[in-house]
Amino acid sequence: MSMLTPTAAELFRIPASVDADQVVQAAASKVRKRTFTEQVELLLTTVGPRITAAGAGLKDARQLPAWRRGEVPREDIKLDRVAALAEVTTAVLADYPASVAASFLRGSQPSLDDHSPVLMIRNATEKDLHKVMSEVRGAVRAFLQG
């Protein structure tokens, strides 16, 4: 009897809900319970290395394989940005495929004054990431509500 290892997306899966608020809250809770390595794995296998690197604030994706193996970035803000990206991705994945999550992250969102979530997260500092994520969560809610 073999046990199959769950995929990254399965670790973060939340049940689709009619209530977008519940999906956003569940996504935040799921991400908080997962390790940095699991968050990186989710992002790499769903939205890809370019979006992951951009959102984390990296110049390129060369550091991502090390993160995937368990290395941790020196700056805490990179940890926080990865968690933020994973949270948004997890919420969108509740109702949509990975390609839509990637499009949502990189696309300009009307509820964010036509800014993209990935660039807002990338440009956030430790001081203002909480405020930025409040705005991004609102955009995710609006998106999920249709």
* Helix (H), strand (E) at residue 93: helix 76-93
Beta-bridge partner residues of 109:
115
How many residues are present in the chain?
A: 146
Instruction: Calculate the CA 64 to chain-centre distance.
Output: 15
> Which residue has tokens 């940005």?
81
Measured CA to CA, the distance from residue 64 to residue 38 in angstroms comes to 12
Q: What is the pLDDT of residue 13?
A: 83
pLDDT in 10s for each residue of the chain, 146 residues: 434 456 777 778 887 666 899 999 999 999 999 999 999 999 999 999 999 999 999 999 999 999 999 999 999 999 999 999 999 999 999 999 999 999 999 999 999 999 999 999 999 999 999 999 999 999 999 999 98
DSSP structural state of residue 109: B
Q: Report residue 84 as tokens.
A: 């933020």
Distance CA 110, CA 99 (A): 19
Phi, psi of 109 (to 5 degrees): -115, 125
Give the start-to-end residue ranges of the domains of the chain: 18-145
Q: pTM of this prediction?
A: 0.92
